Amino acid sequence: MNPSTAFATVVVDELIRSGVREAVLAPGSRSAPLALALAAADREGRLRLHVRIDERTAGFLAIGLIRGTGLPVPVVTTSGTAVVNLHPAVLEASHSGLPLIVLSADRPPELRGSGANQTTDQLKVFGSAVRLFHEVGTPTQELGQVAYWRSTIARAVSTAVGARTADPGPVQLNCALAEPLVPTSDGPDWPESLEGRSGPWTSVHAGAAQPTAVAAGPKTVVVAGDGASQAARLIAEAGRWPLFAEPSSRARTGPAVISAYRLLLSASSQLSGEIERVLVFGHPTLSRPVMKLLARQDVEVVVVAPTGLWPDAGRRAAAVVTGLEVTASDDTDWLARWQHADQLARPAIDKVLADRLTGPAIAAIVAEAVGADGMLVVASSNSVRDLDLAPVVPIRTVANRGLAGIDGTLSTAVGAALANAGATHALVGDLAFLHDFNGLIIGPAEPRPDLRIVVVNDNGGGIFSTLEQGADAHADHFDRIFGTPHDTNLAALCAAADIPHHLVETQEALRAALTPTVAGIDVVEAHLDRTTHRALAAALTAATSQALIQP
């Protein structure tokens, strides 16, 4: 067995022993040993392999698989530009704390700097975005290599999942592979056994963090950002505090959730002005009213973060703790007032959204259609904000909010759907759809998801219509440099990839299109006029304010 083949065989085996069950591969020559080892493991049923022709798509497919399974996922590329096409996914994994394992094939050191084909400096190419970088070194037929390879993989996986640090994130192993790159029958026998241990080569353990007690006294709200988990809900319910939970927080359930929190913070100066303390879980990014709340000088901000990094964009955090515990409170008045305001606001919001197709109305209808066993993947920009305004529906929601980019959304949705036993829906804008359409190009031999994609098509960057750039003062240049119309026929694009497409023009038609069982990939498209977005946002705020005025 030649050294590159032995190395790849050991690496894939140790990844599986360390808990890897899904792997993503982008084809290439230099990565052939790893590709062949992954294919063999796939045939044996030890893991499931996904092959993609586009490295950026491959990276975000791995992100989706991680979000769907909670397990580390390796992505393998050849050398050169193939590696750096993973950079957007690596950054998202870094900011979201996702265990993405990059195995970048490389030329041996003697070929670097020589002008050899597809050869560049791949060492620490992702900079500080990875939790660990390691140059594995060119495999050689020496004693001790197997222990070195296995311990390196065990360390990489444990670092990626944050076993010791509670700080999960991406890692990169740069694998210098020399020819021959395919198995050969000649050559001496390998000098030692390639076998591993019964489990991971190294089992890594860490002690549990101790929670910090928090007093029940001040008028407190709990903000649950992306990835907050059920801990935010449990604390809010124990303290009888209002819960402002973003769709991807994994905490948007239960009696403490205030569905219209974003509008209430803007519309009710009385309620919001009484807030004395905010407990922050996860990574909140959606709402400007929440960001303003977290920057207020008269509000104590306590951030719950298990790692050395914590969100504090307002620079007002008074304390950062690894966990919280609170004595159950009998005082229900503060929460009841927020619940009452929410109950007044919700009918007013629904009235504004009734009858016609709007972004928030579409988001609410899609959320209703997902079902208890389903999953919703939602794009950044308007899509996730529209969902944030919807009535609370207990569904599993996935979003790439680490850096909140629109890139890779469809690939993430495909990965999440492949990992999900139930049907998966995706809610995306037209730009997110176009940006990652390659994510829907799946080879005939590859596992295929059950995924329904709802595209809210306002022919460009609709979110800018609601921001400062959308004011009348910038109207002369707005459409070209912010609105960016593309006039693309999405039905024709779907037809080119043999993806069923349905165009809907009413709420009733949308509900009907979402009724059939999700089987394979299909696309439901709704057209909106983005010139109406700004007026709709103002109407929702005004309706909420009016609803809170008691007769």
What is the distance between the alpha carbons of residues 501 and 170, in angstroms, rounded to a whole number? Answer: 36
Phi-psi region of 371 (alpha: psi -120 to 50; beta: other; left: phi over 0): left
Indicate the pTM of the whole model: 0.94
What is the distance between the alpha carbons of residues 455 and 398, in angstroms, rounded to a whole number? Answer: 16
Identify which has the larger pLDDT, 121 or 547.
547
SS3 content of the chain, % helix, strand, coil (to 5): 40, 15, 45
Contact 34, 76 (CB under 8 A): yes
Q: Which domains occur in the chain, in start order?
A: 3-176 (3.40.50.970), 212-341 (3.40.50.1220), 355-543 (3.40.50.970)
What is the distance between the alpha carbons of residues 131 and 152, in angstroms, rounded to a whole number? Answer: 14
pLDDT higher than 70, residue 550: no
What is the distance between the alpha carbons of residues 75 and 49, in angstroms, rounded to a whole number? Answer: 10
Contact 416, 439 (CB under 8 A): no
In this structure, what token pair is assigned to residue 494? 């779907």
Read off φ and ψ for residue 17, nearest 5 degrees. -65, -25
The angle that helices 55-69 and 409-419 make with each other, rounded to 10 degrees, is 40
Q: What's the N-to-C CA distance of the chain in angstroms?
A: 84
Contacts of 288 (CB under 8 A, 6+ apart): none
- pLDDT digits 0-9 by tens, 227-281: 999 999 999 999 999 999 999 999 999 999 999 999 999 887 789 999 999 999 9
- pLDDT digits 0-9 by tens, 287-296: 999 999 999 9
Mean pLDDT of the region 436-450: 97
- pLDDT digits 0-9 by tens, 399-433: 999 999 999 999 999 999 999 988 899 999 999 99
